[in-house]
Chain A
Amino acid sequence: MNLDFTVIPRMTDLLLWGVMWTVILSVLSMVLSLVLGAVFAVARLAPFRLVRWPVQAFSWIFMGTPLLLQLYVVYFGLAELGLNLNAFTAGVIALSLHFAVYNADIIRAGIQSIDTGQYQAARSLGVSHLQAMRKVVVPQALANVTPALGNMMIALLKESALVSAIGVMELTLSAQRAISQTFRPFEFYLAAAALYYVLNLVLQQALRLIERRAALTR
């Protein structure tokens, strides 16, 4: 045992920098994954097969393969097609798409649980299909599935550590940088774990507030 936790304060700036980018990356991906998730959910309930099927195939592939592999493909694959993304953008795209597919499943179940009378009432008032979905059905569905979506957001925060594998400078990679300077993996991975745990607690509190708001508006 040769542990020396005094090395951690020396790297505070680096670790806090990592925390900041993990937060930015995660929040950005969360918002995108929710918006895309709602779009996919509506598309999977569309009256046309031509809209339904591609989304269904897409979600089957994304649910059946690891996020890490998807990250590699977005980062290296889009470069092959001539679209050179920086690691951060690629990370946000992969995280958003991966979780959008899971969110879509949850939101779709929420939409199906909303009384069809709501949709019919909107349609009979002359509102179009997409507008009825956007303004009437989806908002109610979202309020119902807030806890399930919250769990996905917690998972997203943790999985965001994977983007370090394509070189995004977030918390995991900043811990690795600190380790390459000090050769103290145990201390810094433990510090990173503690910081992720704290971020997780903060997120859980925020979700609890949002859930309470969602319950009130019903």
Chain B
Amino acid sequence: MDFDLMQRVWIFFAQASLTTIMISGLAITLGLCLGFAAALASLSRLAAVRWPARAYVSIFRGTPALIQLFLLYFGGLQLGLEMTAVQAGIIGLGINIGAYMTESIRGAIIAVDRGQTEAGRCLGLSRSQTMRRIILPQAARLMVRPLGVNSVALIKGSAIVSTISVTELTYTAHRFISSTYKPFEMFILAAIFYLVIITLFMRMIDWIDARVALKE
């Protein structure tokens, strides 16, 4: 184990982990927006609204995220859609995780007792008012944990943007593996940063979950 080398390069890994955090954070935000919109659309009464949302979920959960990313970045370039690797990474990851988040959010909404909708409607609230004021606040506390699991998967999945040369953690590890031929040292450095990021993130999810949980 070459601790000397690890001491010399760890600062590059620290910088790269900021990129990983930035890309993941923005992709999670994008995924949440898409997920909410698609979840509400997929529960709509109108087939014309429901159908595109269902197709979005099926297509983006049915194909590899890596292919989606390449299609966006390289395919987009061919169609004249120019963007930087970082932009493509954020958008690609965000659209992909949005499909998974749609299912988490839809599941939480469905899990709220039907009687709640019926009661809201009986009291004279419109469908959208019932959704906004009665169902969503109750569903929100049910979706914290599933969305947290999606987000952890995204943080790990963000490694794939290294293949379009975004200098995040995995790219940095790969670069140093090929220049130093010390794969285990580089793996341990990158793994430490990933484990710290993910452990802290899960602590945050636990904290939010505990705050919104019903106090019986």
The residues of A with any CB-CB pair to B shorter than 8 Å are: 1-3, 60-61, 64-69, 72-73, 76-77, 79-80, 158-162, 164-165, 172, 175, 179, 184-186, 189-190, 192-193, 196-197, 200-201
Q: Are B181's CB and A80's CB within 8 A?
A: yes
A208 to chain B, nearest CB (A): 15
The residues of B with any CB-CB pair to A shorter than 8 Å are: 59, 62-68, 70-71, 74-80, 156-160, 162-163, 169-170, 173-174, 177-178, 181-184, 187, 190-191, 194-195, 198-199
Cβ-neighbour of B67 out of A3, A60, A80, A196 (below 8 A): A196
Instruction: Give Cα A67–Cα B153 distance, bound, in whole angstroms.
Output: 11
Q: Are B63's CB and A1's CB within 8 A?
A: no
Cβ-neighbour of A197 out of B59, B75, B80 (below 8 A): B59
Instruction: Give Cα A192–Cα B195 distance, bound, in whole angstroms.
Output: 33
With contacts A61-B191, A197-B63 taken as known, whether A186 is within 8 angstroms of B75 at the C-beta atoms is: yes
A200 to chain B, nearest CB (A): 5
Cβ-neighbour of B187 out of A77, A79, A159, A162 (below 8 A): A77
Instruction: Give Cα A79–Cα B71 distance, bound, in whole angstroms.
Output: 32
Q: Kindly list chain B residues whose C-beta atoms are within 8 Å of the C-beta of A2.
A: 78
Cβ-neighbour of A69 out of B80, B159, B198 (below 8 A): B159
Q: Kindly list chain A residues whose C-beta atoms are within 8 Å of the C-beta of B190.
A: 65, 69
Question: 27 A-B residue contacts at CB 8 Å?
Answer: A2-B78, A61-B191, A64-B156, A64-B194, A65-B156, A65-B194, A66-B159, A68-B160, A68-B163, A69-B159, A69-B169, A69-B191, A72-B177, A72-B183, A77-B183, A158-B64, A159-B64, A161-B64, A172-B70, A185-B75, A186-B71, A189-B71, A190-B71, A193-B63, A197-B63, A200-B63, A201-B62
Q: Kindly list chain A residues whose C-beta atoms are within 8 Å of the C-beta of B59.
A: 197
Instruction: Give Cα A61–Cα B178 distance, bound, in whole angstroms.
Output: 22
